[in-house]
């Protein structure tokens, strides 16, 4: 029987559908954060009582093309000190126990251009709960406050998610041919790994953001799939 699939949406995140399907995934169990752990983690960054402070979220991957949370403003920004890389192995969302996939994270060094989303203060806690159920499903990311430079040059404090290098699913840098094979073949409960890559590249292009490494990887994956 083929594994159940689901789209990432506000509903599937809010209702815990993604978490439920992930926990039912066949194969070796993946340790997932409980509802209580997710809430505790979010509260350590955004208090329930937050009502007078807008929250900025820096997206660098699928958040750009499918945020699934409410916001009132988005704009380009540049983060220094971290670079976008396929550094997280997944056997759930874009991969399987038989063929693990690779998804993006922020790894140390370099810089990253992405998108800032502003969440109004009055709904910040609620919307961040949605984000936590997506980004913190397996606890592989470290929620972090970072300073980013907006497109107009203004420095803004933003929330983002950095890869935990000590997490079991952390993927060290590998030859392009290895990551190409993984991304070209892997598929998980929310879709194929290559779809994730192609959508991210397309979204970055639409925003006028150049990422030559991602562009090269995308071309190599397409070539692999067509060979």
CA atoms within 13 A on the CB side of 29: 6
- Long-range contact pairs involving 190-196 (C-beta distance under 8 Å, separation at least 24): 190/5, 190/6, 190/7, 190/8, 190/18, 190/93, 190/94, 191/5, 191/94, 192/94, 193/94, 193/95, 193/101, 193/102, 193/103, 194/221, 194/222, 194/225, 196/61, 196/62, 196/94, 196/101, 196/103
User: 7, 36, 40, 135: which one is catalytic?
Assistant: 135
Nearest to 181 by CA among 222, 212, 219, 224: 224
Contact (Cβ atoms closer than 8 angstroms) between residue 196 and residue 105: no
Look up 24 and say whether it is catalytic.
no
Q: What does residue 93 show for φ and ψ, rounded to 5 degrees?
A: -75, -50
> Could you tell me the two tokens for 130?
């949605």
> Could you tell me the two tokens for 165?
């290098």
Nearest to 130 by CA among 45, 13, 9: 13
Contact (Cβ atoms closer than 8 angstroms) between residue 170 and residue 178: no
Which residues are catalytic, by number?
135
């Amino acid at each position: 029987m083929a594994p159940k699939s689901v789209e990432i949406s506000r509903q599937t995140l809010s209702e815990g559908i993604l978490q439920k399907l992930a926990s039912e995934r066949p194969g070796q169990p993946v340790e997932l954060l409980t509802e209580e752990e997710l809430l505790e983690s979010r509260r350590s960054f955004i208090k329930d009582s937050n009502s007078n402070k807008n929250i900025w979220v820096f997206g660098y991957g699928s958040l750009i093309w499918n945020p699934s949370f409410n916001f009132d403003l988005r704009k380009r920004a540049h983060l220094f000190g971290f670079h976008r890389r396929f550094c997280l192995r997944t056997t759930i969302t874009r991969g399987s126990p038989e063929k693990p996939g690779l998804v993006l994270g922020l790894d140390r060094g370099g810089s990253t251009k992405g998108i800032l989303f502003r969440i109004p203060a009055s709904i910040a806690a609620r919307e961040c709960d949605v984000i936590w159920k997506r980004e913190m499903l397996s606890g592989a990311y470290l929620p972090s406050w970072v300073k980013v430079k907006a497109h107009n040059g203004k420095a803004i404090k933003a929330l983002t998610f950095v890869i935990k290098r000590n997490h079991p699913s952390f993927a060290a840098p590998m030859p392009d041919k290895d990551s190409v094979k993984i991304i070209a073949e892997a598929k998980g409960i929310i879709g194929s790994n290559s779809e994730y890559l192609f959508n991210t590249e397309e979204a970055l292009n639409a925003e006028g953001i150049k990422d030559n490494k991602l562009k090269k990887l995308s071309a190599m994956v397409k070539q692999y799939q067509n060979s």
